[in-house]
Chains A and B, each alone.
Chain A
């Protein structure tokens, strides 16, 4: 298991050093500094073995966090722990910087004592930790309070404390997607995928039991089969709704509050959420992606010293929706001497330092198109190498989910308190952003 944990500043000075195992000596602190932080070469691996001692490190701005061990530990766990450690510190004192670490070193030691015992990670949910590691000293807790703390820290719902109360029960769901595309000049999709996250911010009283539903193909099809008889009797139009609008999810992962065995058997997503903001799930889809923009490039070489470029972009979504922060990047050859640009909409500029024409449009509605044409003057060169024509890339933000994911419901059920699902105010927002969105030309 983890034998010790060190935090260094960018110079390699130790800010925090906590040793858990007897086989890790003080010299390990120096070994890492000399061999990794002060190493002349760029770091070639996040795991370094120096004299039979293994060092795992991650960097946050200027700060190095290193875990040390002499055993065959679970490497994935060590890194997950280091990330978690960063999250916990950030939740307590904000940005991880040398100053903040020095200002909170007593707190950090206290945390390290709690979340790592003999090198074994223990409960590290900030929600739980904040109930008893406060730096204000635990005043006089009543016996009940104490046992509440311990049962929460060790309990099944370690991420939420009991007795949370809000006057107004409210929750926010953000579906954040990034859509990635590689398209051939002829408009053929070479690869496309969406990686999405569902982020939830909840302000709910008590220990609410939540159930999240989306238009997952597997669920919809299952329901379609199971309830087909009933629904067809009552509402003949019901089956038409399902099927088409459902989406196939390639893979998804969940926050630890989600009951995975239930998802595996019934594919239902049920959980008791942590208080405040957390990432409920991540997912990936590759089928039937709505590509918000289509880029049509046309490059023509006029002689050896001139290029004519015409690029048309078409927005492919409901006319009532507006895309924002649109940016199209058209690469230019290295020997470009001058560029003249004409665009219908937005602003376009040739940026010599980036070897690209950057065309920006603030807003664009759906089912519209716009175009830019440019004349690129080239310096004659005797370089035999042909210009490799890097792809045209694009950035944008749209108010829908390109994967087609829809939140169907988020039911809240709190058996002990007297508020019902209807009393909870719920907000859902969809944001689709471009990931690597490229069209070859």
Chain B
């Protein structure tokens, strides 16, 4: 028996005939009629008129017939809501059927009928089914909650279905768990704020157990859900990773990719020094390679994802270049993606192989593919400097083929190579010029014109060549017109005598005969420049060009991180965040990678806390070092707001705990009890002996209010890394206020505006006290100097090294990141002079293991000069003493977060080497204080 006959159309009166058949007494005939109805429905005919007749067939023992009727109901219930009610009774009855297959079928279908009145009746049966003894019914009911939520979210919440659904995560049957997870994940997506998927170590453990037992699809649901969890520390992350890695051997590619997603995300939290980190990296490569032997559609999905993975962690696949070589029979979409990845993996080590392959590809048939291959050769040249020469000769070979689109593409990329390696490959210009006539694409024409203009002095007939383009000026595209205008002006500046006429011609074409405002404006600018000041014109037009960057097509890091969280999904295929292609609020929750958090045990505990100090609470308070991506990238780059006053104290506390622990006794003077003199440590014993009277006679008389030492500006962000923005700067401290003196230089060709700055959390809570004020747009080659006031009330996180500051600067072009080290002495406060008694007691109180000794060499100053110079940077001499011909200076300083540092500086007259002993509750600052001493004394 075949069903195809139902597709054959009958003549008029079809509906009428069907109606009669549906109401027939014979079961077989009824069934036949329903099949016909479904067939009509499939091809798009409207058979809704038969609604009552079809629903009448619902009451039947025949499961096949029942399913067909249900199918019809799902399609038409919405258009006939009143009549759909007629079906409710049967549904409710079926939900009580002794056969679990029928119970499940009823609840499954009911959820698909999107009629408000029906949903009310659905609640009771659904509640029963969620607790059904049969797992098949429960797993169907779990999905039904998601269906109901889609129709009426409020109802689901009111009826308490969400709680029941949460309970199902602990169900004994793995498939029920998987479906419950899928349903909850979907519901949670539409309520981003609700803590629906309340993932905690216990529930994660349940999911991981179910992962081993459920179907391949269930494993995908669970892995996708796991990817949304953020483990509390690196240990938990590692233990989850360990339990997820077996999935990499699954035959289902989606399971593998979802597992890769979880691993890529959690890896972010693992320290690179861990052995496990390396193991994990090694484990990821083989399954990714294996994905390439799947069916082509899946290969495509895999390749799009590998493209992201390679950008995020190039080390994973760096040795696997060969597997991305294009096969003859690959579909074009696979070929193009492979090519992209090949370029990303190209390095000095494999460039010879890559080039040989690319050359092969350039002779293939598919035009897009060939073009991309040619472009790839150019990109290799720019990426791997050592290969540039070979790439250029390959490109020249390709130009010799005279295949039109190959030649054009080659010229476009050669232009870029010229930009990257000026004055190296210009010998090929002659060959390029031979192909002038065959260029018919604007991009290639523009590139060629640029080359002619740029190297006009080396091309004998440059004027003729450009003139030939000028003939059809108005038929050219804007791109070519603009390029031609610039090229002729360049030519004129280089060979003024022969080309005056030509330049007149192009200027008048651009300004008078064109209705394109961009072209006209540029024409006028040149015209005026040339007529008023030809020397200036030369400087402007023939200015040195900024270098082009290596990788122009990298995905922006914030987006890349977000896409890594979406591995396997459509977002990773499109390389767009879901908000770009999903309508409404569903699924547009912004995702980001977790910051690295070390578990409390593995924190390298810096504090050699004094005995008796409360050390137990410390691990909780320490905001440990996150990584750049975790925090810096999530910064909101709006104008920074200084923290509310309340925050200040808590930050201070945090910092104290961070750096020393137990320092409160130092700051809060009242608690302090002067110890008996006998307990003075040995190294201070001498000073005690020599009598206190002359010991503490020194006053701070020499001190002036001039600011502390300012280092010369250093380049923090080179223009190459920041699309033309160069930032150099230094830190100053003047009259109690810290500022960051910046010099911004625009080395790009476009105007920069909308500057903003933000700091990552750092050890001392440095933060901008005011927004970055760049009043006028920064035009090309312009430089501005800005002093950015800073405060120390920002959030605190211990950095490595301690004085590391990570900065993000935004402008209209992009966001850039750099990090710099600030000299610690900008943090030395003005009231850092300690009372002598206090000094003595404190010195003694700080355990000896906190003492650090340093040598300051080649400092020709005497004790007086040292003292006064240090004082201007807020290092105060508390006392001075002469012991056996040596000058001993006892000094104190205080950091912005209230940490005291005590110093003993031993100076031998005639010896330029000083010995510096530092004592501090937080010994890790000593090194940096020493560096501050060095800088201040030597400059």
In the complex, residue of chain B having the shortest beta-carbon distance to the beta carbon of A125: B215
**A121 to B583, alpha carbons, bound, how many Å?**
23
**A123 to B254, alpha carbons, bound, how many Å?**
15
Stretch at the interface among B565-573, B687-695, B816-824: B565-573
B534 shortest CB reach to chain A, Å? 48
In the complex, residue of chain B having the shortest beta-carbon distance to the beta carbon of A153: B136
Task: Confirm or deny: B526 has a beta carbon within 8 angstroms of a beta carbon on chain A.
Answer: no
**A110 to B38, alpha carbons, bound, how many Å?**
12
Stretch at the interface among A11-19, A203-211, A342-350, A363-371: A11-19
User: Does B135 contact A143, Cβ atoms closer than 8 Å?
Assistant: no
- Knowing A47-B570, A52-B582, A72-B581, the reply to whether A156 touches B35 (Cβ < 8 A) is no
**A158 to B174, alpha carbons, bound, how many Å?**
11
Task: Confirm or deny: B375 has a beta carbon within 8 angstroms of a beta carbon on chain A.
Answer: no
Task: Confirm or deny: B147 has a beta carbon within 8 angstroms of a beta carbon on chain A.
Answer: yes
User: Does A76 contact B254, Cβ atoms closer than 8 Å?
Assistant: yes
Which parts of B379-418 form the interface with A (CB within 8 Å)?
401
Which parts of B72-123 form the interface with A (CB within 8 Å)?
75, 98-101, 104, 108, 111-112, 114
**A76 to B297, alpha carbons, bound, how many Å?**
9
B178 shortest CB reach to chain A, Å? 9
Which parts of B906-931 form the interface with A (CB within 8 Å)?
none
Which parts of B480-500 form the interface with A (CB within 8 Å)?
none
A72-B581, A74-B254, A105-B7 given; 13 more Cβ-contact pairs under 8 Å = A22-B114, A23-B583, A70-B583, A72-B587, A76-B298, A80-B216, A104-B3, A117-B140, A125-B215, A132-B101, A261-B243, A284-B286, A436-B327
User: Does A80 contact B136, Cβ atoms closer than 8 Å?
Assistant: no
Task: Confirm or deny: A38 has a beta carbon within 8 angstroms of a beta carbon on chain B.
Answer: no
Of B2, B214, B570, which one neighbours A72 at CB under 8 angstroms?
Answer: B570
Of B42, B213, B571, which one neighbours A15 at CB under 8 angstroms?
Answer: B42
Task: Confirm or deny: A164 has a beta carbon within 8 angstroms of a beta carbon on chain B.
Answer: no
Which parts of A90-124 form the interface with B (CB within 8 Å)?
99, 102-106, 109-110, 113, 117-118, 120-124
In the assembled complex, 16 residue pairs joining A and B whose CB atoms fall closer than 8 Å, in A order, are A29-B44, A74-B569, A79-B298, A80-B252, A80-B254, A105-B38, A113-B108, A122-B179, A123-B217, A137-B63, A150-B101, A154-B139, A251-B289, A253-B256, A260-B247, A284-B290
Task: Confirm or deny: B556 has a beta carbon within 8 angstroms of a beta carbon on chain A.
Answer: no
User: Does A71 contact B582, Cβ atoms closer than 8 Å?
Assistant: yes
User: Does B212 contact A259, Cβ atoms closer than 8 Å?
Assistant: yes
B177 shortest CB reach to chain A, Å? 10
Task: Confirm or deny: B246 has a beta carbon within 8 angstroms of a beta carbon on chain A.
Answer: yes
**A154 to B143, alpha carbons, bound, how many Å?**
14
User: Does B64 contact A120, Cβ atoms closer than 8 Å?
Assistant: no
User: Does A261 contact B246, Cβ atoms closer than 8 Å?
Assistant: yes
Chain B 167-195 interface 0/1 with A at a Cβ cutoff of 8 Å (1 = within): 00000011110010010001000000000
- Chain B residues near A141 (CB-CB < 8 A): 99
User: Does A282 contact B224, Cβ atoms closer than 8 Å?
Assistant: no
**Interface size band for B:** 35 or more
User: Does B295 contact A83, Cβ atoms closer than 8 Å?
Assistant: yes
User: Does B212 contact A261, Cβ atoms closer than 8 Å?
Assistant: yes
**A195 to B301, alpha carbons, bound, how many Å?**
21
Task: Confirm or deny: B639 has a beta carbon within 8 angstroms of a beta carbon on chain A.
Answer: no
In the complex, residue of chain A having the shortest beta-carbon distance to the beta carbon of B217: A121
Chain B 501-512 interface 0/1 with A at a Cβ cutoff of 8 Å (1 = within): 000000000000
Task: Confirm or deny: B62 has a beta carbon within 8 angstroms of a beta carbon on chain A.
Answer: yes
Of residues A73, A76, A260, which shows the largest number of chain B Cβ atoms within 10 Å of its Cβ?
A: A76
Report, nearest first, the 6 A-B pairs whose CB atoms are least far apart.
A251-B286, A150-B136, A264-B246, A76-B254, A102-B4, A77-B254
Task: Confirm or deny: B296 has a beta carbon within 8 angstroms of a beta carbon on chain A.
Answer: yes
A25 shortest CB reach to chain B, Å? 11
- Chain A residues near B569 (CB-CB < 8 A): 72-75
Q: Which residues of B does A touch, CB under 8 Å?
A: 2-4, 6-7, 35, 38-39, 42-44, 62-64, 67-68, 70-71, 75, 98-101, 104, 108, 111-112, 114, 134-137, 139-140, 143-144, 146-147, 150, 173-176, 179, 182, 186, 212-217, 220-221, 224, 243, 245-247, 249-254, 256-258, 286-287, 289-290, 293, 295-298, 300-302, 322, 327, 332-333, 363, 401, 566, 568-574, 578, 581-583, 586-587
User: Does A120 contact B143, Cβ atoms closer than 8 Å?
Assistant: yes
In the complex, residue of chain B having the shortest beta-carbon distance to the beta carbon of A123: B215
User: Does A253 contact B249, Cβ atoms closer than 8 Å?
Assistant: yes
**A406 to B290, alpha carbons, bound, how many Å?**
21
In the complex, residue of chain B having the shortest beta-carbon distance to the beta carbon of A249: B286
Chain A 28-50 interface 0/1 with B at a Cβ cutoff of 8 Å (1 = within): 01000000000000111111010
- Chain B residues near A121 (CB-CB < 8 A): 217
User: Does A154 contact B297, Cβ atoms closer than 8 Å?
Assistant: no
User: Does B586 contact A71, Cβ atoms closer than 8 Å?
Assistant: yes
B481 shortest CB reach to chain A, Å? 30
**A195 to B327, alpha carbons, bound, how many Å?**
15
A387 shortest CB reach to chain B, Å? 13
Task: Confirm or deny: A315 has a beta carbon within 8 angstroms of a beta carbon on chain B.
Answer: no
- Chain B residues near A374 (CB-CB < 8 A): none
- Chain A residues near B179 (CB-CB < 8 A): 117, 120, 122
User: Does A252 contact B249, Cβ atoms closer than 8 Å?
Assistant: yes
Of residues B139, B147, B217, B254, which shows the largest number of chain A Cβ atoms within 10 Å of its Cβ?
A: B217
**A113 to B213, alpha carbons, bound, how many Å?**
24
- Chain B residues near A49 (CB-CB < 8 A): 574, 581
- Chain B residues near A146 (CB-CB < 8 A): 99-101
A79 shortest CB reach to chain B, Å? 5
